[in-house]
Amino acid sequence: MLIKRFGVSLEEDILTSLDELVKKNKFPNRSQAIRNLIKGSLVSEKVDKNKIVAGAIIIVYDHHKRELNNKLMHVQHDYHDLILSSQHVHLAHDLCLETIAVKGKAQSLLTLSDRIIGTKGIKHGKLVLTDIE
């Protein structure tokens, strides 16, 4: 991939905020922080336009909750065309972490993640999306 250099002019307070972002996220430099911000904006635009994106739904739950595993399995079967794979990890005796790799139209992935994360018994969940181009 060819990298092009260019100059950017910013007000001092915005530059200070950028430097704080670099430090907070441990980016190696400002360029990487700007690159990350631009990619995030492009992904948001693809979501808004319901384009094809990929990502992961990450959930943490107590597998002893009654019927939770069955409910999660039913939802995943309802959206089998969007799910690429899933990985189940035992964090503790009762606590599990599941990562579900997904790909499809953005709005469908949002609906799927809402159904999974909104399932009673899920302690924490998050959808992370990226652009595939």
8 A C-beta contact, residue 60 and residue 122:
yes
From the CB of residue 98, how many other CB atoms can be counted at a distance below 10 Å?
21
Run of H or E residues at 88: strand 83-90
Q: What is the DSSP letter of 63?
A: T
What are 16-48's pLDDT values in tens digits?
999 999 999 999 999 999 999 998 898 899 888
- What class does CATH assign to 52-131? alpha beta
Identity of residue 5: R
Buried b (16+ CB within 10 A) or exposed e, 4-19: eeeeeeeeeeeeeebe
Question: At residue 3, does pLDDT exceed 80?
Answer: yes
Domain limits, the chain: 12-48, 52-131
pTM beyond 0.85: no
